[in-house]
């Protein structure tokens, strides 16, 4: 009795049906039994026709008594089928479905669900136009399909719902002995959960809706629990990895660096630096997520970690998702590293070929001590002499696989992941569940919370003028560089000219976008920094990393077009000095989602709250933008709404792995077998024990 058995061993499954089942991802009995219904219909209370109310949506069971084909003037064919259950008649009104004459011959008993309309006469006569039906076979099989709460599955054109339902019933009955509880007693005892066999049975054929809910809860917990087990095992293994090196605090770079810094670290920064240093000094690799809101000072923290690596004779690499962010990091780090005599280089695929080759050579020879780059650092032909630390900024745009790939470049290198988008705790637990987490929960002192307003364009322009006349600077962001015939959106290039000529003639307006050459971007940023430019018109290239303390206004045009995370990032470009800063949103929100995004921006400046909101609005898949995010897919569990269950599963899984990391105890044997069988390959589960 093996759940991994091919479905073709089930009665009624030949090669054709085997293929149809494979099309919806069902190859094994296990996959069949975990092909959960998309819905259930209540056929436990079938109505008699005589009991129907006018306009009632319900289900009846009746027999076909007559067909009335009708040819309308527009030559459309209309078929009326009379049904009777002995208490009255119900007529199916079928437009362009003449074939129903054959599917539903006289004498056939069917179940019909739909909205029944009472006819004026005779008594107990109803009509139904929008309906679904199911043919009964008249034998005991029908007990699966009627008289109960019945599962409805997603099927394809040739895969019949009724067949699938019967097949699942058959598999449930036949494989019952194989369906044993696999969660260990310490997990289930004291919980009011259904055991696994029962949960699997009830998710398909629940005796009542209450039991259906219990089944869903148990299965949702199981999905979370197994995932967290995988993460817990990974985490355990990572912790036991031994790196060849361990660092010592030499301080020959860190001390002069602190002296160069124009500020003191905040208490939170000190805390996370301590956490990171402790990991780096241990014999096990650092594997840590560093999160903190925009502007909380993560980059400086990562620089400390890089300096510790360099002090110890290792190379460090920092990888950013876009060229402009990599450049920004490079410029920021150079400011300090140059004075410290640390050799830094930038590597991006957009670079001049010759220069690119030179940088690669210098990285390979160990000449470059800190390499800053984009995905280019992941290229196969880029190799390091002695890579000790990898810093990954904006992790979610990379994905888990890339994270591992960069680590591979240094044997057991330390990995520090930074996210500029704070991640809701629920997602952090699933996506980064194998990482330790450090959080900077505080902005540097003296920063005033940014004030956010929704204004008309004219009001916003006047506001910008007010600020610029006081010597401040402003950003004006557009969603596009060029106007496009498909959109009626204002675009950055045209608007830069317009704004310069018509709106702000007395000030200097600059333009910045992604298609400019690196040197040009640098020159424009320098001009902005030196106040040669008062107002910088831009696209979202300035979303990340830009750091101009004197800029106090962020005007976002067509704010309805941007995602919440982007809006928050853009807003984070101001408020970096001690002056009050403002974020001005201009645009017309036409969809409910756009309205909620704007509302969320007006309501809060807290990145974590914003991220939670964003998750609510978009759902977890969209939140990370791409499928390659590595976000696991759950069939039943819902990361957002079942968060408490997820936390519970996580705690339990980590405690279990702590106590018995190789699942060697007798009571953990079924769990181990289950994990390896059901999730072994697809989840890439590291073999437990």
Q: Residues in contact with ligand ADP, total (CB under 6 A)?
A: 16
By beta-carbon proximity to Mg ion, the closer residue of 326 and 600 is 326
In DSSP notation, 453-481 reads: EE--HHHHHHHHHHHHHTT-EEEEE-SBS
By beta-carbon proximity to ligand ADP, the closer residue of 167 and 417 is 417
Q: Which of 184, 292, 510, 575 is close enough to bind ligand ADP by CB under 6 A?
A: 292
By beta-carbon proximity to Mg ion, the closer residue of 522 and 547 is 547
Question: With binding defined as CB under 6 A, does residue 300 bind ligand ADP?
Answer: yes
Collapsing DSSP to helix, strand or coil, 247 comes out as: coil
Q: Which of 37, 114, 151, 295 is close enough to bind ligand ADP by CB under 6 A?
A: 295
Collapsing DSSP to helix, strand or coil, 362 comes out as: helix
- Please report where in the chains the tokens 């993460």 appear, as a residue: 231
Query: How is residue 542 written in tokens?
Result: 């300035």
Per-residue mark of binding to Mg ion, 267-306 (x: CB under 5 A): --------------------------------x-------
What is the Cα–Cα distance from 479 to 488, expressed in whole angstroms?
12
Subset of residues 244 to 263 that bind ligand ADP, contact rule: CB under 6 A: 263
**Within 13 A of 657's CA, how many CA atoms are on the CB side?**
22
CB 298, min distance to ligand ADP, A: 3
CB 304, min distance to ligand ADP, A: 11
What is the Cα–Cα distance from 390 to 341, expressed in whole angstroms?
20
Element (H, E) at 63: strand 56-71
Question: With binding defined as CB under 6 A, does residue 424 bind ligand ADP?
Answer: no
Per-residue mark of binding to ligand ADP, 599-618 (x: CB under 6 A): --------------------
CB 371, min distance to ligand ADP, A: 19
Q: Which of 32, 226, 294, 306 is close enough to bind ligand ADP by CB under 6 A?
A: 294
Binding segment toward ligand ADP, per CB under 6 A, in 154-162, 287-295, 495-503, 636-644: 287-295
Q: Which of 298, 329, 407, 672 is close enough to bind ligand ADP by CB under 6 A?
A: 298
Name the residue number minimizing CB distance to ligand ADP: 297
Name the residue number minimizing CB distance to Mg ion: 299
Query: How is residue 296 written in tokens?
Result: 């909380």
Burial class (CB in 10 A: 0-12, 13-18, 19+), 73: exposed
Cα–Cα separations (whole angstroms), residue 268 to 261, 273, 275, 574? 17, 9, 11, 21
What is the Cα–Cα distance from 618 to 614, expressed in whole angstroms?
6
What is the Cα–Cα distance from 622 to 619, expressed in whole angstroms?
6
Cα–Cα separations (whole angstroms), residue 319 to 297, 299, 423? 17, 12, 19
- Please report where in the chains the tokens 């499954």 appear, as a residue: 13
- The backbone torsions φ and ψ at residue 437, rounded to the nearest 5 degrees and listed phi first, read -120, 130
Binding segment toward ligand ADP, per CB under 6 A, in 130-138, 221-229, 291-299, 605-613: 291-299
By beta-carbon proximity to Mg ion, the closer residue of 30 and 330 is 330
Give yes or no for a cis peptide into 27 (omega within 30° of 0). no
Q: Which of 34, 89, 146, 296 is close enough to bind ligand ADP by CB under 6 A?
A: 296
Question: With binding defined as CB under 6 A, does residue 265 bind ligand ADP?
Answer: yes
Subset of residues 439 to 458 that bind ligand ADP, contact rule: CB under 6 A: 444
CB 401, min distance to Mg ion, A: 23
CB 335, min distance to ligand ADP, A: 9
Binding site residues, ligand ADP, CB under 6 A: 263, 265-266, 269, 292, 294-300, 420, 444, 547, 576
């Amino acid at each position: 009795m093996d759940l991994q058995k091919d479905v073709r061993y089930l009665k009624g499954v030949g090669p054709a049906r085997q293929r149809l089942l494979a099309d919806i991802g069902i190859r094994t009995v296990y996959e069949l039994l975990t092909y959960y219904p998309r819905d259930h219909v209540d056929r436990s209370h079938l109505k008699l026709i005589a009991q129907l109310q006018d306009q009632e949506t319900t289900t009846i069971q009746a027999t076909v008594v007559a067909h009335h084909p009708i040819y309308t003037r527009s030559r459309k064919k209309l078929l009326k089928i009379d049904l009777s259950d002995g208490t009255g008649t119900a007529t199916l009104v079928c437009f362009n479905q003449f074939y129903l004459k054959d599917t539903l011959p006289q004498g056939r008993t069917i179940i019909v669900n739909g909205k029944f309309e009472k006819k004026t006469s005779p008594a107990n006569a109803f009509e139904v136009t929008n309906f679904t039906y199911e043919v009964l076979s008249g034998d005991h099989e029908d007990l699966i399909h009627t008289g109960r709460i019945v599962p409805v599955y997603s099927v394809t054109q040739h895969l019949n719902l009724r067949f699938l339902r019967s097949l699942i019933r058959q598999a449930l009955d036949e494989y019952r002995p194989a369906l044993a509880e696999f969660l260990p007693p310490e997990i289930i005892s004291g919980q009011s959960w259904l055991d696994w066999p029962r949960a699997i049975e009830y998710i398909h054929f629940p005796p009542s809706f209450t039991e259906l809910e219990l089944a869903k809860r148990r299965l949702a917990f199981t999905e979370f629990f197994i995932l967290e087990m995988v993460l817990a095992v990974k985490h355990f293994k990572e912790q036991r990895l031994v790196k060849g090196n361990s660092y010592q605090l030499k301080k020959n770079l860190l001390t002069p660096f602190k002296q160069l810094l124009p500020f003191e670290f905040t208490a939170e920064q000190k805390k996370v630096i301590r956490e990171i240093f402790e990991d780096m000094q241990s014999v096990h690799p650092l594997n840590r997520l560093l999160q903190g809101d925009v502007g909380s000072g993560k980059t400086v923290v990562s620089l400390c970690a890089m300096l510790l690596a360099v002090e110890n004779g290792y190379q460090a690499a920092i990888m950013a998702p876009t060229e402009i962010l990599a450049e920004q990091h490079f410029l920021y780090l150079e400011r300090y590293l140059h004075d410290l005599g640390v050799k830094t280089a930038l590597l991006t695929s957009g670079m001049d070929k010759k220069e690119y080759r030179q940088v690669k050579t210098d990285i390979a020879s160990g000449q470059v001590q800190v390499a800053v780059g984009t995905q280019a650092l992941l290229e196969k032909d880029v190799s390091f002499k002695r890579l000790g630390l990898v810093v990954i900024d904006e992790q979610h745009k990379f994905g888990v696989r890339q994270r591992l790939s960069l680590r591979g470049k240094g044997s057991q290198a330390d990995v520090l992941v930074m996210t500029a988008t704070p991640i809701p705790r629920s997602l952090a637990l699933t996506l980064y569940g194998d990482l330790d987490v450090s959080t900077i929960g505080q902005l540097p002192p003296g920063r005033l919370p940014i004030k956010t307003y929704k204004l008309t364009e004219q009001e916003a322009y006047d506001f910008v003028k007010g600020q610029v006349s006081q010597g401040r600077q402003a950003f004006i962001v557009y969603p596009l560089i060029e106007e496009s015939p498909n959109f009626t959106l204002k675009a950055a290039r045209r608007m830069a000219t317009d704004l310069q000529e018509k709106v702000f003639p007395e000030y200097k307006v600059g333009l910045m976008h992604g298609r400019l050459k690196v040197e040009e971007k640098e020159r424009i940023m320098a001009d902005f920094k030196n106040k040669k430019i008062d107002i910088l018109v831009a696209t979202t290239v300035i979303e990340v990393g830009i750091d101009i303390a004197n800029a106090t206004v962020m005007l976002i045009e067509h704010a309805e077009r941007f995602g919440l995370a982007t809006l928050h990032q853009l807003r984070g470009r101001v408020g970096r000095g001690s002056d009050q800063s403002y974020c001005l949103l201009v645009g017309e929100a036409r969809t409910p989602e756009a309205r909620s995004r704007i509302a969320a921006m007006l309501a809060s400046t807290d990145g974590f709250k914003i991220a939670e909101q964003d998750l609510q609005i978009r759902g977890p898949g969209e939140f990370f933008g791409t499928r390659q995010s590595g976000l696991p897919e759950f069939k039943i569990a819902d990361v957002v709404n079942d968060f408490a269950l997820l936390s519970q599963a996580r705690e339990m899984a980590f405690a279990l792995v702590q106590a018995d990391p190789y699942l060697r105890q007798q009571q953990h044997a079924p769990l181990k077998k289950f994990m390896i069988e059901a999730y072994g390959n697809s989840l890439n589960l590291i073999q437990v024990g």
